[in-house]
Structure 1
Amino acid sequence: MSRVRAPELPQNYPWLNTGQPISLQSLKGRVVILDFWTYCCINCLHVLPELKFLEQKYPDSLTVIGVHSAKFENEKEVENIRQAILRYDVEHPVLVDSGSRVWRQYAVRAWPTFKIIDPEGYVVGSFSGEGKRDALDEIIGKLIEEYQNKSTINFREVSLILEKEKQPLTTPLAFPGKVLADSLTNQLFVADSGHHRIVVSTLEGEVLHIIGTGKAGLIDGSFDEAQFSAPQGMTFDAKNQVLYVADTKNHALRKIDFPTRQVETIAGTGEQSRKISPDTGVAKETKLNSPWDVEKVGDRLFIAMAGSHQIWLLELDSGIIGIYAGNGGEACVNGSLKESAFAQPSGISTDGNELFIADSEVSSVRAVGINEHPKVRTVCGSGGLFGFGDKDGQGEEVLLQHCLGIEYTQNYVWVADTYNHKIKRVEYHAGLCRNMLGDGTAGHQDGQGINSRFSEPSGLSAIAQHLFIADTNNHLIRRIELDTLEVTTLEFPGLCPPDVCLPSNIESD
């Protein structure tokens, strides 16, 4: 392996998950992996468990340092990165790479990229993309053996002060990703993503059920036995009293049956698929890739498959699942279902004729036909991977910033413009987009229209005259009166974090 001296890490930049800046000089005698990431990127999130595996395997000889080199403007804010560290349970030091200086010094070109530094401070390897755990493991093992033979390996655990220790999360909800309201049953379903559970309440906030133990896992069974892992989007079959859930980090779809009070896995194996194909397969035998949202239309369940940049379809009557639209490339391409391309689709809604997609990495609203002669089109947004901002207007002149939530209601499409901390309304036939809620500053402020504030809102659901918002980084659900645009914060009396109250504490039929 050729060796190049690793550039020293800046000490005057913000550092997170550590009590003080870390220098490569201080890590002499250890293997170091620099993980260049940005928290919007699904591929970067996929490698976090791989890195955690390596950190736990080599605790006394390996140090992983995340170098956060932002893509979006919103991701350059230190507090937003801190929240991402808490949300995704990152347990290694993170350097905030202001201006992407370290990115350039290490000649990085893609997220995620790993740079391997040997115990003498030389770069000895580089990988980009997902699925590199075994390759990294092999290099780390060889380096440890080599330097152990030289008696120059420094076996010691590095003590860190993690953000979750500095700022423990004690809120009733933790990073709720999506919310779903149902007027027929007067119920509100909240994906309490950070607590790995589903909270069910009345539309006024009276808690009816807590589904899941609060610990990350993939376990079917009763409401107080089942486990999820960062669940996101939901869709409800009111007739049969069944809730379908995109169990994102489990790479699975779950079915919650309220009459029997049972949770069942209906698609996915629990392992992440790294293939664009197969086109179709038996749902419970087919690996999925970070399903982020779901929408039921008749007996069909459409899935925003964020990890493979596609829209998938599960036929509920036959149990067959497969690709509906998207060629798997990360881009914004319109046209036929097979020719089309998406970029981390993260929200899905419908008017019955088209699916509306929050296509986050191209900061655009897309529409996908679901009836005769279906096509894919862009409703609004620049359609480019780096075409983002904050601009109202029509069609391509509209600029959004990593939109994650979407909802069709009353002939409009509402969009959670997540990284702009705003809620926007789209006249979807003409592609006209206008900001309706939020002044663009991250915060928690009730009020009317643009005098309100949110913090990375990610989920939307509307019924009658109300719009509910999963206000993710505020750990709250907000409620909007659509006729006045008055914003209030919904309270959930008696709801508490999983380690404080158990699911069995709240039982209601």
Structure 2
Amino acid sequence: MTPRVRAPELPQNYPWLNTDHPLSMKQLKGRVVILDFWTYCCINCLHVLPELKYLEQKYKDSLTVIGVHSGKFANEQETENIRQAILRYDIEHPVVVDQGFRIWQEYAVRAWPTLMVIDPKGYVVGSVSGEGNRDVLDELITQIIQEHKNQGTINFQELSLTLEKQHQPLITPLAFPGKVLATPAGLFVADSGHHRIVFSNFNGDILHLIGNGKSGLTDGNFEEAQFSAPQGMAFDEEKQILYVADTENHALRRVDIKQQTVETIAGTGEQSRNIRPHGGAGLTTALNSPWDLVKVENTLYIAMAGPHQIWQMDLASGIIKTYAGTGAEGCFDGSLTESAFAQPSGITTNGNELYIADSEISSIRGVGLVEPQQVRTVCGSGDLFGFGDVDGQGENVRLQHCLGVEYFQNYLWVADTYNHKIKMVNPHSGNCQTVLGNGSAGLQDGQGKNTSFFEPSGLSAIDSYLFIADTNNHVIRRVDLQTLEVKTVEFNGLCSPDICIPKGF
């Protein structure tokens, strides 16, 4: 018989979030406990959150989920940044900040995400790694509850928690805006935390609010349509059509500005588990966290973060399919079919090549659109743990989880998200230089490096201006590219959907 392993005690002197006091295994005796070892950059960890939410709701009186945040990137080891991630992803269970990977080592964890299941007597009874294990866990929890009910060793009682969102409710006009798109028609903002698209002119006057601000997958007019944490966008100026990567719905949406309607054009609303290159008709092909879009002629190219691939959709035929990437997570240059990416989260183009912010390897990649259609690394180490903050050339460059990239006036502008900076890259030489941001998380207007940002994630340029989705500051910043002057954009009359309705709506 295999000896049973008692769950190591959780540290009481580490920072805890979503609770007003540390939790201990001793205190949780009588309950089923799941420890979720996660890091907030990781797409697989994000995919586990809805699975856990389902189980938390189903077993309210007998299950406690505790997030153990073992941060991969240096920026993810800061408690305040983890608090922002908890707010952004609406996490409602306690989270302990695993300083120095101590809990990770005590539980012999080897990968993100890993879920450890602990029974009401305090013994580890199972663990699973990766995503898509909801049904397995559901069955195991039911079995544990029945067994301990028979033994009289289960304590049915709902735990009361003080959540971060109770201390810091999201009542700002924008909430965690992920991407921004500047077009001749005006400015589109993916107001990701409010599940809507804000469309304004360049003076900050609201032209349309697209979506009712509630998370859901609903087509229809602008007031009834629903999105779920939308991210990247692309605009067809001639037809006045906006395309949206509706990330947490695993869908692509088509917004008709003239008709004021929203319709789904790809995705089933369910997350695809198929990471092999494949494709099919848009509405019958499940997608996996589309994060950003760019339109080239009548084709949409998609940074598909979930399966680590670049996809394409022919807008005439409605066919969507893998364009590049095997589905393996990593950095492999070469042909489209042998290339590998790592959570691509930003995409732009010069018409001949796509440029990708490949976030988990902190690198910028180039993907050919014309023969011989090769994939190359423009700058960055290409290594999953090769991150930092180093300007320079090619593979000597170090970025930290870059999420946004914009091709403008022969250069690439990069949102070096976890370094809180904006950098400029020569796409030919791979030279990378910091242009904006002092490297500290903050909200400071000004000029050049005498400015600060907080996890900027999206960029878009038009005329002589660069717009930045300054995600954790809940604002859009505007940069005059001739003077490098940074200003925070004011949106007239814009409110959080939770607190007010703007005039005229």
Deviation at 1:2, TM superposition (A): 5.4
Aligned pairs for 1:394-433 within 5 A: 394-433=393-432
Q: In structure 1, what residue type is equivalent to 2:79? A: V
Q: What is the SS of the residue equivalent to 2:449?
A: helix
Partner residue in 2 for 1:251: 250
Tell me the alpha carbon deviations over residues 389-413 of structure 1, each in whole angstroms, 9 at most, x when there is no partner. Answer: 0000000000000000000000000
Q: In structure 2, what residue type is equivalent to 1:16? A: L
Aligned pairs for 1:29-428 within 5 A: 29-182=30-183, 184-185=184-185, 187-277=186-276, 279-428=278-427
Partner residue in 2 for 1:460: 459
Tell me the alpha carbon deviations over residues 225-278 of structure 1, each in whole angstroms, 9 at most, x when there is no partner. Answer: 000000000000000000000000000000000111100000000000010246
Deviation at 1:447, TM superposition (A): 0.6
In structure 2, runs of 5+ residues without a counterpart are: none
Q: For 1:403 and 1:292, how far apart are their aligned partners in 2?
A: 13
Contact 2:313 2:320 in 1 (8 A): yes
Deviation at 1:502, TM superposition (A): 3.9
Partner residue in 2 for 1:449: 448
Contact 2:229 2:247 in 1 (8 A): yes
Contact 2:277 2:325 in 1 (8 A): no
Deviation at 1:464, TM superposition (A): 1.2
Contact 1:208 1:506 in 2 (8 A): no
Q: For 2:263 and 2:398, how far apart are their aligned partners in 1?
A: 40
Contact 2:216 2:227 in 1 (8 A): yes
Tell me the alpha carbon deviations over residues 142-195 of structure 1, each in whole angstroms, 9 at most, x when there is no partner. Answer: 11000000111100000000000011121000000000001x32x000000000
Q: For 2:504 and 2:239, how far apart are their aligned partners in 1?
A: 23
Q: What is the SS of the residue equivalent to 1:208?
A: strand
| Residues 100, 506 of structure 1: alpha-carbon distance in 2 compared, 3 angstrom cutoff | farther
Contact 2:55 2:138 in 1 (8 A): yes
Give TM-score, length-normalised by structure 1. 0.98
Q: What is the SS of the residue equivalent to 2:335?
A: coil
Contact 1:210 1:506 in 2 (8 A): no
Q: In structure 2, what residue type is equivalent to 1:72? A: F
Tell me the alpha carbon deviations over residues 27-54 of structure 1, each in whole angstroms, 9 at most, x when there is no partner. Answer: 0000000000000000000000000000
Deviation at 1:500, TM superposition (A): 2.2
Q: In structure 2, what residue type is equivalent to 1:43? A: N
Q: For 2:321 and 2:472, how far apart are their aligned partners in 1?
A: 33
Instruction: Provide runs of 4+ in structure 1 moved above 3 Å.
Output: none
Q: For 1:16 and 1:276, how far apart are their aligned partners in 2?
A: 34
Q: For 1:444 and 1:103, how far apart are their aligned partners in 2?
A: 33
Q: For 1:451 and 1:485, how far apart are their aligned partners in 2?
A: 10
Deviation at 1:3, TM superposition (A): 2.2
Q: For 1:475 and 1:69, how far apart are their aligned partners in 2?
A: 25
Q: For 1:280 and 1:252, how far apart are their aligned partners in 2?
A: 14
Deviation at 1:499, TM superposition (A): 1.7
Contact 1:172 1:497 in 2 (8 A): yes
Tell me the alpha carbon deviations over residues 421-475 of structure 1, each in whole angstroms, 9 at most, x when there is no partner. Answer: 0000001100000000000000000010000000000000001110000000000
How well do the aligned residues superpose, as a CA RMSD in angstroms?
0.9
Tell me the alpha carbon deviations over residues 63-99 of structure 1, each in whole angstroms, 9 at most, x when there is no partner. Answer: 0000000000000000000000000000000000011
Q: In structure 1, what residue type is equivalent to 2:212? A: T
| Residues 487, 414 of structure 1: alpha-carbon distance in 2 compared, 3 angstrom cutoff | same
Give TM-score, length-normalised by structure 2. 0.99
Q: What is the SS of the residue equivalent to 1:232?
A: coil
Q: What is the SS of the residue equivalent to 2:52?
A: helix
Q: For 1:145 and 1:106, how far apart are their aligned partners in 2?
A: 26
Contact 2:171 2:498 in 1 (8 A): no
In structure 1, runs of 5+ residues without a counterpart are: none
Q: In structure 1, what residue type is equivalent to 2:245? A: A
Q: For 2:277 and 2:432, how far apart are their aligned partners in 1?
A: 37
Deviation at 1:367, TM superposition (A): 0.5
Tell me the alpha carbon deviations over residues 374-398 of structure 1, each in whole angstroms, 9 at most, x when there is no partner. Answer: 1000000010000000000000000
Q: Does 1:481 align with 2:497?
A: no
Q: For 1:3 and 1:472, how far apart are their aligned partners in 2?
A: 45
Q: In structure 1, what residue type is equivalent to 2:373? A: P
Q: In structure 1, what residue type is equivalent to 2:366? A: A
Q: What is the SS of the residue equivalent to 2:53?
A: helix
Q: For 2:140 and 2:3, how far apart are their aligned partners in 1?
A: 13
Contact 2:276 2:326 in 1 (8 A): no
Q: For 1:202 and 1:277, how far apart are their aligned partners in 2?
A: 42
| Residues 2, 43 of structure 1: alpha-carbon distance in 2 compared, 3 angstrom cutoff | farther
Partner residue in 2 for 1:440: 439
Aligned length: 504
Decide which moves more: 278-287 or 136-145.
278-287
Q: For 2:301 and 2:504, how far apart are their aligned partners in 1?
A: 32
Q: What is the SS of the residue equivalent to 1:45?
A: helix
Q: What is the SS of the residue equivalent to 2:72?
A: coil
Q: For 1:378 and 1:423, how far apart are their aligned partners in 2?
A: 19
Tell me the alpha carbon deviations over residues 263-294 of structure 1, each in whole angstroms, 9 at most, x when there is no partner. Answer: 00000000000102462200110000000000
Contact 1:2 1:124 in 2 (8 A): no
Tell me the alpha carbon deviations over residues 92-119 of structure 1, each in whole angstroms, 9 at most, x when there is no partner. Answer: 0000001110000000000000110000
Q: In structure 2, what residue type is equivalent to 1:321? A: I
Contact 1:213 1:502 in 2 (8 A): no
Contact 2:345 2:356 in 1 (8 A): yes
Q: Does 1:4 align with 2:5?
A: yes
Q: For 2:69 and 2:278, how far apart are their aligned partners in 1?
A: 35
Contact 1:413 1:428 in 2 (8 A): yes
Deviation at 1:372, TM superposition (A): 2.2
| Residues 3, 13 of structure 1: alpha-carbon distance in 2 compared, 3 angstrom cutoff | same
| Residues 278, 413 of structure 1: alpha-carbon distance in 2 compared, 3 angstrom cutoff | closer
Q: Does 1:21 align with 2:25?
A: no
